[in-house]
Amino acid sequence: MRVSDLAQPIGAGLVGAVTGFASSFALVVAGLQAVGATPADAASGLLALCLLQGVLAIGLGLRYRMPLAFAWSTPGAALLVAAQATTGDYRAAVGAFLLCGVLLVVTGLWPALARAMTRIPRPIASAMLAGILFPICLAPVFAAVQLPALALPVVIVWLLLARLAPRWAVPGAVFATIVAVVVSGEGADLTTASLWPTVTLTWPSFDPLVLVSLGLPLYVVTMAGQNVPGFAVLTTFGYPHPPARAILVGTGAATAVGSVFGGFTLNLAAITAALMAGPDAHPDRDRRWIASVTGGVAYLVIGLGAGAATVLVAVTPPILITAVAGLALFGAFAGAATGALEEASTRIVAVVTFLVVASGVTIAGIGSAFWGLVVGGIAMLWLVRRPRGAGAVGGRP
């Protein structure tokens, strides 16, 4: 293989890794801290996620010669932020992470469960995801009002790059945030804090309420919001038979192992996968796997910056961090809202599900994401008549 054949996929892999990390690391750190993690625990979780997804991309990419890119669950991180009111015990949250990993492994080994998960009605799954993302997507508005000197420059940079260089809009907003924090004096601690990543070990506890309100929704949004779209991306770019069992078992096992270090969920990438599995990576489909393997190697290196990333989040006003996360999630929210309201016959079901989830209500100690699924399912059964299997999230993985 000539050097010219390597340059394009290697470049695509590096761009995918950098943009994937920069686009949502702040949300990951904020989500872990929302469920009780200390800054050291959050840095450990970010490091574990980077290392494990890098290992998965390298191992499975080399094994199957496919552009199999992996990522943390961005909707899952948003769910952690939303769970702040109901889950303050970090050990219980780690138990929920472990449950999610076990369920992913079981899904890979049990085809019937995989088929059931991919047949969750699209309006309900999309509306639940939209309800989780909605409060975070409002954060740029609140930040612009509460901290205009810090937030408005970030929003302006995002707007400019969203028009001129969309791929770099969110990384640019992150860089603008760093500049704004340093210039304002808020980041004085950046020069004295330890920027090296740390590793902490937290043994899980199993609180039934947390398992139901966090563990199960985390599994559902990871499957519906990440894995199913990830399989769809691979199919779209000419890979109709990805190794579904290896992917689900691998990500589930990695999630289970990483849970005690703070790694909440790993899954097949969807957005960054489009960079590595599409023609931008290489005109020849048989050589695009180089991009995902390169991305995996890049994540092993990027993981060394987990400590610095966590310090940045710690010294930045929380509303500004959430605002940057909200900017990164605009596209995901738009997609979820569109999917929820796509079918006229199920729009009321989708609206009901969205409102319950977005309300943030807690009933019997269980958060709104779970109750949104329950209420949405009841509304679907009562209000909609249609053939069994219609409106599924996706096809069989």
pLDDT, tens only, 305-364: 888 788 777 778 888 888 888 887 788 788 888 888 988 889 999 999 999 988 888 777
Q: Mind spelling out the 3-state secondary structure of the chain? A: CCHHHHHHHHHHHHHHHHHHHHHHHHHHHHHHHHCCCCHHHHHHHHHHHHHHHHHHHHHHHHHHCCCCCEEECHHHHHHHHHHHHCCCCHHHHHHHHHHHHHHHHHHHHCHHHHHHHCCCEHHHHHHHHHHHHHHHHCHHHHHHHHCHHHHHHHHHHHHHHHHHCHHHHHHHHHHHHHHHHHHHCCCHHHHCCCCCCCCCCCCCCCCHHHHHHHHHHHHHHHHHHHHHHHHHHHHHCCCCCCCHHHHHHHHHHHHHHHHCCCCCCEEECCHHHHHHHCCCCCCCHHHCHHHHHHHHHHHHHHHHHHHHHHHHHHHCCHHHHHHHHHHHHHHHHHHHHHHHHCCHHHHHHHHHHHHHHHHCCCECCECHHHHHHHHHHHHHHHHCCCCCCCCECCCCC
CA 2 to chain centroid, in Å, comes to: 35
Instruction: Compute the CA torsion angle 301, 288, 53, 80 (nearest 10 deg).
Output: 110
Dist CA 191 CA 158 (whole Å): 26
Among the ranges given (178-182, 246-250, 338-342), the one the predictor scored with the smallest mean pLDDT: 178-182
CA 46 to chain centroid, in Å, comes to: 12
Residues with Cβ within 8 Å of 318's Cβ and at least 6 positions away in sequence, in order, are 30
Q: What is the largest CA-CA distance in the chain?
A: 62
pLDDT of residue 118: 67
- Phi and psi at 96, nearest 5°, equal -65, -40
Question: For residue 145, what are its two tokens?
Answer: 């009002």
pLDDT (tens digit per residue) in 135-156: 888 989 999 999 998 899 999 9
pLDDT of residue 396: 43
Average pLDDT over residues 369-393: 76
Tell me the pTM. Answer: 0.81
* Residue % of the chain over a pLDDT of 90: 38
pLDDT of residue 347: 92
Task: Report CA torsion sign: 343, 346, 348, 354.
Answer: negative
Are the C-beta atoms of residues 321 and 26 closer than 8 Å to each other? yes
pLDDT (tens digit per residue) in 199-215: 999 999 999 989 998 99
